[in-house]
Amino acid sequence: MSELIVIAFDDEATGFELRAELVKMQGEYLIEMEDAVVVTRPSEDDIKLHQAVNLTAAGALGGGFWGTLVGLVFLNPLIGAAVGAASGALAGQLSDVGINDNFMRETARALPPGGSAVFVLLRKMTADKVLDRLQSFHHRGRVLQTSLSREDEDRLRDALSGGATPPVPPADPATGA
């Protein structure tokens, strides 16, 4: 099951820094993310979503490839590429993978102008190592919303507030839990 975490910042740059750190941790196999989006609020009336993946461009590229391949079979690769790219771009624009855009926009209304929030959908994480890495963001962010357990959410809040993170309790050998 995936977990949703939303962390808010008073400036835009810190949101992008956190996403970059999360991507690094994913490369080190400390976390596995489904989606990571930075939402900024440049002004009172403006909310911008900065998706990690541009689905329209990815769809156009994939569609162009498959369209060219089909076009080669029917001896007209240029028309096949054009039709494939157009249909791929349309499919990419219509798909919404990960966190719902409307939910992110509504949640971002709680941000001050000039602020940002990072929306992360996690599949798995090595909690103790991830929380240690988040210590560099202490006193800079606040947890807006999570689907974590109350205990895990408190540990995340402590990491962001600069407090000591309680250790992860070891498994009980008698029960295996």
**Does residue 78 contact residue 71 with C-beta atoms inside 8 Å?**
yes
List residues bridging with 4 in a β-sheet: 121
- pLDDT at residue 164, as a whole number: 42
Looking at residue 85, its pLDDT comes to 55
Q: Mind spelling out the 3-state secondary structure of 66-112?
A: HHHHHHHHCCCHHHHHHHHHHHHHHHHHHCCCCCCHHHHHHHHCCCC
Single-letter residue type at 79: I
Q: Which stretches in the chain have pLDDT values below 50?
A: 54-60, 90, 92-96, 163-177
Q: pLDDT at position 156, please?
A: 85
**pLDDT value for 66:** 53
**pLDDT value of residue 77:** 59
pLDDT at 141: 86
- The pLDDT value recorded for residue 75 is 58
Q: How many angstroms separate the CA atoms of 124 and 113, rounded?
A: 32
- pLDDT for position 67: 59
pLDDT tens readout for residues 112-131: 999 999 999 988 988 889 88
Domain boundaries, the chain: 3-52+101-161, 55-94
pTM of the model: 0.66
**pLDDT number for residue 96:** 47
Q: Are strands 31-43 and 141-146 parallel, antiparallel or unpaired?
A: unpaired
The pLDDT value given to residue 168: 39
Confidence at residue 20, expressed as pLDDT on a 0 to 100 scale: 92
**pLDDT value, residue 145:** 83
pLDDT of residue 165: 39
pLDDT at residue 175 in the model: 44
Please give the pLDDT value at position 161.
73
